[in-house]
Structure 1
Amino acid sequence: LYYYGDILFLSNRYLDLDDQLQKHKHNLGKMTGKKYLITGGWGRLGSHMKDSIPSVASRKNQMNILSTNQVEYLVKTAKFDAILHLAAISNQKLAEKEKLLSYQVNVLGTRNVAEIAQKYSLKLYYISTDYVFPGTKGNYKETDDASPANWYGFTKYAGELEVKNAIEDYCIIRTSFRPTKWEFPTAYTNVYTSADYVDIIAKEIILCLDYNLNDIIHIGTSIKSFYELAKIRNPNIIPEKCHDQTFPKRRDLNIDKWLFEKKKRGTYE
């Protein structure tokens, strides 16, 4: 298996579907009775989700989202109810360095998945990012205009537009997450986020699937500094300030709409 950033996405072979269906048979019906095709299902986020929902998770040697034939083959071979599209180049430095490749995967690959979802009447859940915003004012709402500050954000926002243009039944989930442990010895006290650890965000996204939401939704947890987030799992984290004037210090998302949906269903504590 080969990683580009956090998510797996490329392949040259078709899925051994019978083997995968048997492997995930114990998961079927755990949630809503729906079955999901997860692209990038063995990446950081997908790995925390795939054991909790009925799914067949694609891996690098199983499906290439740049090939409509491979995507369509998999969709035709098994009866899915929806697609959860996680596959992407999410490493910002790699996206900046390999602009053509990241455009192909994040934009054209998303177009392929969306068009196949529309063709077979499957709902599409597209995982987007807070990087569609510039990170200047913070508390961004779903209705705020996107204005990506870097190439990664641009490709993910372009992916959003591909979804909107290709399919009627979709949900765009803007979110952000960290590894299960803070990976640095220090954390900024003056940079704010609505992100959380990947195991927390994975559970929130599973709730979103269960709610069957549409359009755009911002998913995260309460706004806090990087330092406050890091301190949750590393009490010995060293605080520091970010003095880089170009660093986006307020990319946090407004999650009021998400909290309303949870409260309406009695799942908001």
Structure 2
Amino acid sequence: MIKVVITGSNGLLGQSLLNLLLKEKDKYKVYGFSRGINRSGKEDFNYVSIDITKENDLKENLFNIKPDFIINTAAMTQVDDCETNKEACDLLNVTVVKWLAEVSKEINAQLIHISTDFIFDGKKGYYKETDEANPLSYYGLSKLRSEEVLVKTEIDYTILRTILVYGKVFDMSRNNIVLWVRSMLAEAKEITIVNDQYRMPTYVEDLAMACKISMDKKATGIYNISSNTLLSIYEIAQQIAEVFKLDKSLIKPISTTTLNQRASRPPKTGFDLSKTNKKLEFYPKSFKEDLYRFKETLI
């Protein structure tokens, strides 16, 4: 049995991973770490209610379990909150990763860690894994530092960089762009969407599958995971309206400068997926194709 610890098991990716790994109970013994009660709707795994920002609790539980893999899906991802609460951001996004790496080294576990397109400044788009990082926000900086923690260690690590993750799980504590746009348009509410930021959104099921492939192949290093088509966020909203047969005329384009956000966002990210195709043998689809897949799960 392969023992797997998922940190942040109550989150969107955490719950998606649980659903995926629990299909193969004869292969994986799964442990979920999260705060409060288990919100996944699943009971056939080992749930540990824990605050992973408490070093002793985190390490003690990991040393007791001695997992083969730790998949770290926990992070502070609210970009503007990270800008104003840097201590909390550093603790969860950097220090916890350092602790996970320390345990991984002692018990010889592989650590799979989720990172972001926000480590880049967004001047060019279609970023490769080897491109130079230059984050514009404190969130992006914290995720870059978390990557640097792993690159400097001697452990087996996998960094999966991703973009604008969406999907739906049993108990959602946070919204995402697809659910928000769909819900607003379904209520015939007008929405404003930026037309000068470009992204490749990621279906959470794909990100969960990339985590599983990384385990199964024992793939190490850095990989890009997203859909394969670069779109403006305005175009993303338009495609959501099309797929869900909602009124596109309710979507009004605006520029980023009108938002007055605390943290700067990279104007144009998107990934070069050639390494992911080649090494992981994983071939992400277009956003629209993924949306149709997602829509089927909601029916």
Q: Which amino acid in structure 2 is aligned with residue 260 of structure 1?
A: K
Moved segments of 4+, more than 6 Å = none
Distance (whole Å) between structure 2 residues aligned to residue 160 and residue 175 of structure 1 = 13
Q: 1:135-174 to 2 correspondence within 5 Å? A: 135-174=122-161
Query: Is contact 2:202-2:227 (8 Å) kept?
Result: yes
Residue from 248, 256, 265 that aligns with 2:274: 256
Q: Which moved more, 1:84-93 or 1:177-186?
A: 177-186
Q: Which position in structure 2 is the counterpart of 1:176?
A: 163
**1:190–1:208 distance in 2 versus 1, CA, 3 Å:** farther
Q: 1:221-240 to 2 correspondence within 5 Å? A: 221-225=227-231, 226-235=233-242, 236-237=247-248, 238=251, 240=253
Q: Which position in structure 2 is the counterpart of 1:191?
A: 197
The structural deviation recorded for 1:93 is 1.4
Residue from 84, 88, 97 that aligns with 2:71: 84
Query: Is contact 2:120-2:266 (8 Å) kept?
Result: no
Distance (whole Å) between structure 1 residues aligned to residue 217 and residue 239 of structure 2 = 28
Alignment RMSD: 2.4
Q: Which amino acid in structure 2 is aligned with residue 261 of structure 1?
A: K
The structural deviation recorded for 1:173 is 0.9
Query: Is contact 1:217-1:258 (8 Å) kept?
Result: yes
Q: Which moved more, 1:157-166 or 1:113-122?
A: 157-166
**1:239–1:213 distance in 2 versus 1, CA, 3 Å:** farther
Distance (whole Å) between structure 2 residues aligned to residue 239 and residue 206 of structure 1 = 39
**1:136–1:182 distance in 2 versus 1, CA, 3 Å:** farther
Structure 1 length-normalised TM = 0.78
Q: Which position in structure 1 is the counterpart of 2:90?
A: 103
Distance (whole Å) between structure 1 residues aligned to residue 235 and residue 221 of structure 2 = 31
Q: Which position in structure 2 is the counterpart of 1:218?
A: 224
Q: 1:18-37 to 2 correspondence within 5 Å? A: 33-37=1-5
Q: Which position in structure 2 is the counterpart of 1:14?
A: none
The structural deviation recorded for 1:168 is 2.1
The structural deviation recorded for 1:149 is 0.6
The structural deviation recorded for 1:182 is 4.3
The structural deviation recorded for 1:190 is 3.9
Q: State the SS of the aligned residue for 1:161.
A: helix
Q: Which position in structure 2 is the counterpart of 1:43?
A: 11
**Cα deviation per residue 1:215-268 (whole Å; 9 max; x = unaligned)?**
1111111132123433443323425253539652212122111122344x7x67
Q: Which position in structure 1 is the counterpart of 2:211?
A: 205
**1:251–1:65 distance in 2 versus 1, CA, 3 Å:** same
Q: Which moved more, 1:251-260 or 1:182-191?
A: 182-191
The structural deviation recorded for 1:136 is 1.4
Structure 2 length-normalised TM = 0.71
The structural deviation recorded for 1:71 is 2.1
Q: Which amino acid in structure 2 is aligned with residue 256 of structure 1?
A: S
Please state if 1:244 is matched with 2:257.
yes
Distance (whole Å) between structure 2 residues aligned to residue 166 and residue 65 of structure 1 = 20
Q: Point out where structure 1 has 5 or more consecutive residues left out of the alignment.
A: 1-32
Distance (whole Å) between structure 1 residues aligned to residue 284 and residue 206 of structure 2 = 14
Q: Which position in structure 2 is the counterpart of 1:25?
A: none
Distance (whole Å) between structure 2 residues aligned to residue 262 and residue 59 of structure 1 = 28
Please state if 1:120 is matched with 2:120.
no
**Cα deviation per residue 1:152-193 (whole Å; 9 max; x = unaligned)?**
001111111112223421011111233332424354444221
**1:120–1:233 distance in 2 versus 1, CA, 3 Å:** same
Query: Is contact 1:192-1:223 (8 Å) kept?
Result: no
